[in-house]
């Protein structure tokens, strides 16, 4: 089974469970880092996510993984919040954060830079447009490795 099929199967197994437990299913990724496989499930909630929430979802996902055994190789399961500086993986995520400040990590130089930040103005299948210092920049999606919220921490 190829990786994309595996991920789609896992989403089909976990998304309804996460929703039934009262959380938003944010994203799932299966990655290799330093020779180890990681199955990461990101959950969210309007009230935020705490350790107890992650443990609750992790236990239920572990039960399904033990029953279904969909992953042939060894891996570590991680359940977490996407965090304040969350990665925007999908178009749905981008749509939700239009007019928010974002960071773009690039895989090649764009106007002499590998990192850009600005307000998310719009996006389509070809590129993402940000406003940086009152200038609209449209960056081709093929040049973007990661899009994340810039995150603005509240000050007291």
Looking at the structure, give the CATH architecture of the domain made up of residues 91-149. Answer: Roll (2.30)
Span(s) in the chain for CATH 3.30.300.70: 3-80
pLDDT tens track for 47-94: 999 999 999 999 999 999 999 999 999 999 999 999 999 999 999 999
Which burial class, exposed, middle or buried, applies to 59 when counting CB atoms under 10 A from its CB (0-12, 13-18, 19+)? exposed
Is the CB of residue 89 less than 8 Å from the CB of residue 128? no
**Reported pTM:** 0.85
Q: Is the pLDDT reported for residue 154 higher than 70?
A: no
> In the chain, where does the domain assigned CATH 2.30.30.100 lie?
91-149
φ/ψ (deg, to 5) at 115: -135, 135
In the CATH scheme, what is the code of domain 3-80? 3.30.300.70
**Phi, psi (5° rounding) for residue 38?**
-130, 130
Give the other-Cβ count within 10 Å of 145's Cβ: 10
Mean pLDDT for 83-112 is 96
pLDDT(135) > 50: yes
């Amino acid at each position: 089974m190829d990786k994309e099929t595996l991920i789609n199967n896992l989403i089909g197994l976990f998304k309804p469970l996460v929703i039934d437990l009262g959380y938003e299913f944010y994203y799932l990724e299966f990655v290799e880092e330093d020779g180890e496989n990681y199955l990461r499930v990101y959950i969210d909630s309007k009230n935020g996510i705490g350790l107890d929430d992650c443990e609750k979802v992790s236990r239920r996902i572990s039960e399904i993984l033990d029953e279904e055994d969909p992953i042939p190789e060894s891996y570590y399961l991680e359940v977490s919040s996407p965090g304040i500086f969350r990665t925007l993986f999908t178009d749905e995520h981008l749509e939700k954060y239009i007019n928010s400040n974002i960071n773009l990590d690039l895989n090649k130089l764009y106007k002499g830079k590998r990192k850009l930040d600005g307000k998310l103005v719009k996006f389509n299948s070809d590129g993402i447009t940000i406003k940086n210092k009152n200038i609209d920049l449209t960056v081709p999606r093929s040049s973007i490795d990661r899009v994340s919220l810039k995150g603005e921490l509240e000050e007291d």
